[in-house]
Amino acid sequence: MLAFIGSVLWSKCHKNVLCVCCFLFASVSFVALPTVAASTPAIEADAEQAAQATLKDRSLVNQSRNALLRATDNKAVVEDSARSLFVASGLFELIEQIPISTAESFEQALTVDSLPIIFSDIDQTLIRNAVRSAFKFETFDKYMVGALRNTMSDVERGDMLDWYVTDLGARVRKAELQNSLLTEQQRFEEYQTYLTHYPAGVVRQKVIESLDATMRSTESAVDMMLNIQIAFNLSLSRFLPEEQRLSRHEILGMVRQHEQELLSQYREQTKDVLLFTYHDLSDDDLSELDEQLASNSGQAFVAAINDGIKKAMFAASLDLGDELGALLNTPPTGPGI
């Protein structure tokens, strides 16, 4: 269900071009990112420190996850069907990958790309810390569980919980966790190469297209990416010199002007993502998954996931703009959003 998130992050990190965070600087922002020929010893040392910090992040996330799973023995947690669905569907494990993958991608990009000139004098360690601070697991947990609780009825959550204990539900969950683009970018690229030689059959392509429409994967991917850029630039713009500052109307206009082009590009990429994610499932399995997600309960589930992840990314991007803006030592022009 969250394949489109990996699609957004992977497309901006592909071959060390730009991670999603760096892309924000260059896409609708104020200064393009130049490329450096090679990493310096200082940068490599920073990267080593970042790697150690990332391992620490993974340990903390795993501790939080284990604590939550143990807490399901508690009656109050069991009765919270939104939290139960969050765990049973695998969303918890997928969501916990987002802050780590974002930080890792940003750190990798810093070894081959320099930052916009306004950040040229800022310690890169501080920038990495800002990314980690903004893209917190707790933010995504809050908004995702909140959306499952507020968007779906008890009956709808119950229907989806029942489906996830079926054989197909368990296999779908396994496929989405094992083939997440947030952790399996290299395997995905190898699979894309495979598809150029052995393309999917007509029947499978039609099922994948239907599944994309049912999940609203392409639209959600583009909407999420645009909202990340809007939130980040609205927040950061307050800290910039007046001549570089953009109004809300200008930011919205710049972000939205390429929306249709992005939809077209992402629709093709989403097909490959879904083919990769569910490559071990049969055409009949995918048709059954499509039917389940097209049901009233399934559509409520899809809407909740898309709403929750969009709000979480928006909130994290606002925080990132604030965190980076604070490093510029420039008083903000307003209180922010």
What's the CA angle centered on 40, arms 36 and 45, to 5 degrees? Answer: 130
Rounded distance between C-alpha atoms, residue 140 and residue 309, angstroms? 7
Q: What is the mean pLDDT of residues 170-188?
A: 91
Res 294 pLDDT > 50:
yes
Predicted pLDDT of residue 202: 96
Spell out the residues 6+ positions from residue 118 whose beta carbon is closer than 8 angstroms to its own.
30, 31, 240, 244, 328
Of 55-69, 136-150, 229-243, which range is least confident? Answer: 55-69
Res 114 pLDDT > 70:
no
Ranked by mean pLDDT, the top range of 53-57, 183-187, 221-225, 275-279 is 275-279
Res 152 pLDDT > 80:
yes
Mean pLDDT of the chain: 76
Of 138-147, 250-259, 294-303, which range is least confident? Answer: 250-259
Report the DSSP beta bridge partners of residue 35. Answer: 113
Write out the two tokens for 76: 């109050």
- Helix, strand, coil % in the chain, rounded to nearest 5: 75, 0, 20
CB 182 within 8 A of CB 94: yes
CB 322 within 8 A of CB 226: no
Nearest alpha-carbon partner for 11 in 119, 140, 105: 105
Predicted pLDDT of residue 333: 61
| Number of residues that this document lists for the chain | 337
* pLDDT, tens digit, 9 for 90 and up, residues 305-323: 999 988 998 888 888 888 8
What's the CA angle centered on 89, arms 83 and 91, to 5 degrees? Answer: 75
Predicted pLDDT of residue 6: 55
Q: What is the mean pLDDT of residues 313-337?
A: 76
